């Protein structure tokens, strides 16, 4: 089969049982009829894009799929099966594609996990956040650690041999000791991948409001937060995990290929409510209002033709040269492997030192950045202050 270049696919499922206290993602609870209507609309959108980039158009090779949310595992497995069948009917999926679904304990059982495996999903990302039930309750998670462990073991029984566990640090009431226990507990389970992010308080979330009503003392202070970062890195590296990106660790050969596509600026198509895409140096974002999204797909699409898919695009941004070079630097430098000097030249027809020579020289002299063998990457100290460094790669 004649295929053009590869692309990833992100499928957004915006529904969850309850919204966590820290969450500002595009997600919300819903009833069963809404799930059904949404999946039907999503399938129409997939068909429409398939006539542009899939089997009815450019015939791109789908190398990774990530079903995210929300909580995709909140859907019945038959709906996930329908979505995957629709993708396969409209796109060529590489036989070695990495296909991930996000899951939360409390929405899983062995039968559902087995169904996921049977429809071609080969990677799970399970949201644990903490092994401490009091910390889970403080951030509004619906599950206990016991429920998580049961879900994890069920996933192994169902045949999943590529599982990510999401963790969070700097949680309310969290201490270095409780984090250490969480890390030890998770390491003992031996997942292939661990993502560990520090809690960020987002405006207009219940936890943000609670903290700003005078309860800041329930959060670890900035110094403890930093110690948690070091503790996480130390324990995971000692356990045989490789840090391949600032907040992501994996066993050898288990780095998330889909995540890497974002940091490598590889094309990806986002489908579903509010989903983002990056194709041919243009960023799109879908309609974020659920009523408007469903109405657009109901009025302008049906099951037999593609409709005008551009009507779903709420935001369209064509990146200029400076935008692209900036992204290349601050996305690429998130990776432990850094960036290739020759790749910068091939991509932009410019010498990286003509564009960023002063910045590179500055951080190299500060031992925050290494330039060696045609490669540029942050040092361990550089990762610690990466946000400050990334700002210097913005061009006027």
Of 309, 370, 315, 249, nearest in space to 52 by CA: 309
Per-domain boundaries in the chain: 6-263, 321-391
Whether the pLDDT of residue 339 is over 90: the answer is yes
Percent of the chain with pLDDT over 70: 97
Of 377, 147, 335, nearest in space to 250 by CA: 335
Q: What fold does the segment set 321-391 form as a domain? A: Arc Repressor Mutant, subunit A (1.10.10)
Cα–Cα distance, 219 to 201 (Å, whole number): 11
What is the mean predicted confidence (pLDDT) over 117-139?
A: 97
Of 239, 155, 233, 144, nearest in space to 196 by CA: 233
SS3 track for the chain: CCCCCEEEEEEEECECCCCCCCCCCCCECCCHHHHHHHHHHHHHHHHHHHCCCCCCCCCCEEEEEEEEECCHHHCCHHHHHHHHHHHHHHCEEEEEEEEEEEECCCCCCHHHHHHHHHCCCCEEEEEEECCCHHHHHHCCCCCCHHHHHHHHHHHHHCCCCCEEEEEEECCCCCCHHHHHHHHHHHHHHCCCEEEEEECCCCCCCHHHHHHHHHHHHHCCCHHHHHHHHHHHHHHHHHCCCEEEECCEEECCCCCCHHHHHHHCCCCEEEECCCCEEEECCEEEEECCCHHHHHHHHHHHCECCECCCHHHHEEEEEECCHHHHHHHHHHHHCCECCCEEHHHHHHHHCCCHHHHHHHHHHHHHHCCCEEEECCEEEECHHHHHCHHHHHHCCCCC
pLDDT value of residue 26: 86
pLDDT in tens, 156-208: 999 999 999 999 999 999 999 999 999 999 999 999 999 999 999 999 899 99
Whether the pLDDT of residue 3 is over 60: the answer is no
Segment among 9-18, 211-220, 238-247 with least mean pLDDT = 211-220
Whether the pLDDT of residue 305 is over 90: the answer is no
What is the mean predicted confidence (pLDDT) over 221-228?
A: 95
Question: Which residue has better confidence, 91 or 304?
Answer: 91
Percent of the chain with pLDDT over 90: 86
Q: Write the burial class of residue 212 (CB in 10 Å: 0-12 exposed, 13-18 middle, 19+ buried).
A: exposed
pLDDT value of residue 162: 98
Question: Which residue has better confidence, 213 or 188?
Answer: 188
Decide which of 3.40.50.1700, 3.50.50.60, 3.20.20.210, 3.20.20.70 is the CATH code for 6-263.
3.20.20.70
Whether the pLDDT of residue 302 is over 90: the answer is no
What is the mean predicted confidence (pLDDT) over 350-360?
A: 97
Whether the pLDDT of residue 267 is over 70: the answer is yes
**At 312, is the pLDDT very low, low, confident or very high (cuts 50, 70, 90)?**
confident
pLDDT in tens, 65-87: 999 999 999 999 999 999 999 99
What is the mean predicted confidence (pLDDT) over 284-298?
A: 91
What is the mean predicted confidence (pLDDT) over 271-283?
A: 95
What is the mean predicted confidence (pLDDT) over 306-313?
A: 70
pLDDT value of residue 331: 97
Question: Which residue has better confidence, 133 or 312?
Answer: 133
Question: Which residue has better confidence, 28 or 308?
Answer: 28
pLDDT value of residue 1: 45
Q: Which tokens in the block code for residue 303?
A: 């099951």
Prediction pTM value: 0.95
């Amino acid at each position: 089969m004649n295929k053009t270049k590869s692309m990833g696919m992100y499928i957004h499922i915006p529904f969850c049982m309850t919204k966590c206290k820290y969450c500002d993602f595009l997600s919300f609870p819903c009833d069963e009829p809404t799930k059904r209507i949404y999946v039907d609309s999503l399938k129409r959108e997939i068909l429409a894009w398939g006539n542009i980039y899939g089997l009815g158009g450019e015939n791109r090779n789908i190398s990774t799929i990530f079903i995210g949310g929300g909580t995709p595992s909140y859907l019945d497995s038959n709906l996930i099966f329908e979505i995957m069948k629709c993708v396969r009917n409209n796109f060529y999926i590489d036989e070695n594609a990495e296909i991930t679904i996000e899951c939360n304990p409390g929405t899983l059982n062995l039968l559902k996990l087995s169904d996921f495996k049977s429809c071609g999903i080969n990677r799970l990302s399970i949201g644990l956040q903490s092994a401490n039930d009091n910390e889970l309750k403080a951030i509004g998670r619906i599950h206990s650690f016991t429920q998580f462990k049961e879900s994890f073991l069920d996933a192994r029984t169902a045949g999943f041999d590529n599982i990510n566990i999401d963790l969070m640090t700097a949680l309310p009431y969290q201490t270095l000791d409780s984090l250490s226990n969480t890390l030890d507990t998770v390491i003992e389970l031996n997942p292939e991948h661990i993502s560990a992010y520090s809690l960020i308080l987002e405006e207009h979330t219940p936890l943000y409001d609670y903290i700003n009503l005078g309860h800041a003392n329930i959060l670890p202070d900035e110094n403890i937060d930093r110690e948690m970062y070091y503790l996480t890195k130390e324990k995971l590296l000692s356990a045989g995990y490789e840090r391949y990106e600032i907040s992501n660790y994996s066993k050898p050969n288990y780095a998330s290929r889909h995540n890497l596509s974002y940091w490598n600026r590889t094309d990806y198509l986002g489908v579903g409510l509010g989903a983002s895409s990056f194709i041919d140096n243009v960023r799109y974002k879908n309609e974020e209002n659920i009523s408007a999204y469903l109405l657009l797909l109901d009025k302008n699409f049906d099951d037999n033709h593609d409709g005008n898919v551009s009507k779903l695009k709420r935001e369209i941004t064509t990146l200029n040269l400076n935008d692209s070079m900036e992204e290349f630097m601050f996305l690429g430098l998130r990776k432990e492997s850094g960036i290739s000097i020759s790749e910068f030249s091939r991509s932009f027809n410019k010498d990286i030192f003509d564009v960023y020579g002063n910045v590179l020289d500055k951080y190299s002299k500060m031992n925050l950045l290494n330039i060696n063998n045609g490669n540029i990457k942050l040092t361990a100290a550089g990762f610690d202050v990466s946000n400050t460094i990334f700002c210097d790669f913005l061009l006027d």
